């Protein structure tokens, strides 16, 4: 299959490219490299360095490569940044997707798997989160993704051949098991990279925000899904799409690990004594966020291979200890 991966030079997108290539698909990457890394794109994969909001350019890419299906990861994803500059997020995430859909419509591409987020739920009143719960995002990032979900539904309703799956991610973690690609953000806000960068001496310490939550050890609990499991779910969803389908699935392992548990896992995996500072809660941090992914499992047969936090951390550590400066050292 001829497949386009938007945001294919980013963390999650690059892992999708890798697994698609291993599956035998012909893969093209579309990425403006604003926050992606050219080093994450394999030499035998065509990179089209254009902006998703350039509809004419996207249309030409779809035509040029005879694209049949699209995995759509291209997005900005910092919650705090979205609060400070919401228009940038609506322009990039929402308008960018509209541009992509317009190009798809013009060329006749009718298969899409979309990278959505559990942030569309906001702060649910109970756990685990199921797809039938109200979606009430509390920041522009979550709203920019929820708007895309509405747009996809409306477009699919108007075009009976168009089919999509929107996957609402929980906390994506880990790196390729073979250590070839990994996670490299600037700034880095994800907890496992922050901890491992502390082990490497890049950070002075790990700050834990809040120890008085109503959880077993007082720290926040999150659902961590390994990036390779996440991509496997995308590929299964794409393989099962049929004309007119509109799918919305949670994508997580179905249970959570606390901040302290993640720190302890990093200590076990690295053998390092990690300096930790305890600070006050951050505004807007729910005590717990974890998924019920049974709808996805029932629809596709997907099962995560990584459910143990130590094993997830071990794959991340394999990448970081060999690339302490990220892709800049490759």
Q: What is the CATH number of the domain that holds 229?
A: 3.40.50.720
Statement to judge: residues 71 and 103 lie in one domain: yes
Please provide the average confidence, as pLDDT, over all residues in the chain.
Answer: 96
Report the pLDDT averaged over residues 158-173. 98
Q: In terms of Cα–Cα distance, which of 232, 191, 222, 219 is closest to 316?
A: 191
Would you say residue 70 lies in a domain?
Answer: yes
Domain containing 322: what range?
191-222+255-329
Report the pLDDT averaged over residues 87-94. 98
Whether the predicted pLDDT of 111 surpasses 70? yes
Would you say residue 179 lies in a domain?
Answer: no
Would you say residue 182 lies in a domain?
Answer: no
Would you say residue 237 lies in a domain?
Answer: yes
For a pLDDT cut of 90, what percent of the chain falls above it?
96
Which pLDDT score, from 0 to 100, does residue 283 have? 83
What predicted TM-score, i.e. pTM, was given to this entire model?
Answer: 0.96
Q: In terms of Cα–Cα distance, which of 13, 63, 69 is closest to 41?
A: 13
Q: How many CB atoms lie within 10 A of CB 68?
A: 16
Which pLDDT score, from 0 to 100, does residue 282 have? 86
Total domains, the chain? 2
Q: How many CB atoms lie within 10 A of CB 255?
A: 14
What residues contact 279, with CB distance under 8 A and at least 6 apart? 207, 208, 209, 210
Statement to judge: residues 44 and 82 lie in one domain: yes
Q: What is the CA radius of gyration of the chain?
A: 19
Statement to judge: residues 153 and 269 lie in one domain: no
Q: Which tokens go with 74?
A: 């291209």
> Is the omega angle on the peptide bond into residue 128 within 30 degrees of 0, that is, cis?
yes
Known active-site residue 90: no
Question: pLDDT per residue over 260-290, tens digit each?
Answer: 999 999 999 999 999 999 999 988 888 999 9
Which pLDDT score, from 0 to 100, does residue 13 have? 98
Statement to judge: residues 217 and 244 lie in one domain: no
Q: How many CB atoms lie within 10 A of CB 83?
A: 14
Question: pLDDT per residue over 186-212, tens digit each?
Answer: 899 999 999 999 999 999 999 999 999
Statement to judge: residues 152 and 267 lie in one domain: no
Statement to judge: residues 168 and 77 lie in one domain: yes
Whether the predicted pLDDT of 325 surpasses 90? no
Catalytic residue (choose from 71, 141, 257, 290): 141
Cα–Cα distance measured from residue 169 to residue 226, given in angstroms and rounded to the nearest whole number: 11
Report the pLDDT averaged over residues 29-50. 97
Which pLDDT score, from 0 to 100, does residue 284 have? 82
Whether the predicted pLDDT of 330 surpasses 70? no
**Domain final residue, candidates 233, 251, 269:** 251
Q: Tell me the CATH number at 263.
A: 3.90.25.10
Report the pLDDT averaged over residues 84-110. 98
Q: Which of 10-24, 36-50, 87-101, 316-330 has the lowest average pLDDT?
A: 316-330
Statement to judge: residues 210 and 104 lie in one domain: no
């Amino acid at each position: 299959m001829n497949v386009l991966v938007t945001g294919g030079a980013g963390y999650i997108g690059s892992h999708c490219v890798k697994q698609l290539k291993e599956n035998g698909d012909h893969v093209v990457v579309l990425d403006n490299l604003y926050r992606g890394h050219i080093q994450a794109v394999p030499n035998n994969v065509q990179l089209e360095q254009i902006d998703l909001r350039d509809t004419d350019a996207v249309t030409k890419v779809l035509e040029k490569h005879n694209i049949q299906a699209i995995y759509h990861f291209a997005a900005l994803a910092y919650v705090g940044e979205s609060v400070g500059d919401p228009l940038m997020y609506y322009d990039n995430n929402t308008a960018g997707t509209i541009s992509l859909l317009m190009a798809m419509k013009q060329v006749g591409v009718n298969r899409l798997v979309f990278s959505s987020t559990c942030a569309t739920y906001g702060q649910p009143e109970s756990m685990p989160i199921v797809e039938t719960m109200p979606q009430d995002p509390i920041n522009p990032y979550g709203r920019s993704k929820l708007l895309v979900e509405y747009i996809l539904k409306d477009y699919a309703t108007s075009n009976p051949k168009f089919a999509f799956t929107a996957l609402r991610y929980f906390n994506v973690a880990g790196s390729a098991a073979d250590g070839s690609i990994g996670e490299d953000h600037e700034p880095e806000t994800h907890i496992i990279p922050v901890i491992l960068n502390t082990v490497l001496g890049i950070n002075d310490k790990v700050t834990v925000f809040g120890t008085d939550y109503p959880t077993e050890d007082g720290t926040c609990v999150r659902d961590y899904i390994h990036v390779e499991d996440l991509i496997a779910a995308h590929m299964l969803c794409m393989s099962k799409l049929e004309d007119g389908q509109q799918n919305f699935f949670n994508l997580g392992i179905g249970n959570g690990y606390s901040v302290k548990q993640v720190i302890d896992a990093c200590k076990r995996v690295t053998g390092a004594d990690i300096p930790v500072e305890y600070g006050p809660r951050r505004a807007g941090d729910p005590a717990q966020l974890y998924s019920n992914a049974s709808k996805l499992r029932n629809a596709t047969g997907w099962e995560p291979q990584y459910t143990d936090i130590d094993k997830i951390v071990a794959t991340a550590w394999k990448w970081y200890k060999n690339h302490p400066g990220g892709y800049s050292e490759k």
